[in-house]
Amino acid sequence: MPKSDSSRRTITLPAFVVTAIREALDLGLDGGPDALVFPSTRATPRSPSRVRDQLREAQASIGTTVTPHDFRRTVATQVANSTTIGNATALLGHANEGTTVRHYVKRTHVAPDLRVVIDQLVQQAAADDPQGKTE
């Protein structure tokens, strides 16, 4: 169950998720009465702690440490940087953008490339200068 009513939303799934769901369905796992796609061995929802354990086990041989929350923060940062904070907030199901900004979107120390905007400003100033001087 989501934490709040604002957490209830429809998410359009990326192609790799659709593929994973189709492959899971093809396995014919017992999803129990709720028809879970990725059930536990007892046809119940997987516990978050078990998912974290399985992820740790999978990473042990490659020497990396990533948590499910790291995935969530990475996606939120990419969505915010590629589109808007509002889109990241909606995707995560937060009630307001402040939560997304404070806890999920990694701050960047690189200013956006606004050279075109600044060049336009200088060109407009030059065009507006009756003396033809640009200082």
Contact of 131 with 125, CB cutoff 8 Å = no
The pLDDT value given to residue 129 = 79
Check pLDDT > 60 for residue 35: yes
Within the chain, how many helices (H) and strands (E) appear? 6, 0
Return the domain boundaries, the chain. 1-46, 65-135
pLDDT tens digits along 58-99? 999 888 889 989 999 999 999 999 999 999 999 999 989 999
Check pLDDT > 90 for residue 100: yes
Contact of 77 with 105, CB cutoff 8 Å = yes
**Confidence grade of residue 135 (pLDDT, cut at 50, 70, 90):** low
Query: CA 16, 18, 99: angle at the middle one, nearest 5?
Result: 75
The pLDDT value given to residue 1 = 67
**Confidence grade of residue 101 (pLDDT, cut at 50, 70, 90):** very high
Please give the C-alpha separations between residue 134 and each of 116, 120, 128, in angstroms, as whole numbers: 17, 13, 10
pLDDT tens digits along 50-63? 999 999 999 998 88
